[in-house]
Amino acid sequence: MYYFTFCENRIHKISVKGNEIILHDHTEEEAENEYILSKLTGTEPEIDCFKIYKVWKEGDTENIPFFLRNLMKNKKKGEENV
């Protein structure tokens, strides 16, 4: 299953693999660069995908969108069809 969000005026999809969030429309390098930039400047990323990546990276699960948080919980339980 996928979580969909508006990003850069398009719909992007995010999924969960194990304990990791997969941004299907961005590279790992893009996500890491945005994360580092947000930490250095003390600002939040402007793009939704990178906002989600940042809260996941920091372990702030309360601020991960509800549907995506449930996907992560179900994957931890080993539910393969999720």
Express each pLDDT in 14-72 by its tens digit: 998 877 889 999 999 999 999 999 999 999 998 999 999 999 999 887 888 888 888 77
Contact 69, 82 (CB under 8 A): no
With cut-offs at 50, 70 and 90, classify the pLDDT of residue 81: very low
- pLDDT at residue 64 in the model: 84
Distance set, CA 28 to CA 9, 52, 63, 72 (Å): 20, 13, 21, 19
Domain ranges of the chain: 2-76
DSSP label at residue 42: T
| pLDDT at residue 12 in the model | 96
- Quote the pLDDT of residue 77: 61
Global pTM reads: 0.81
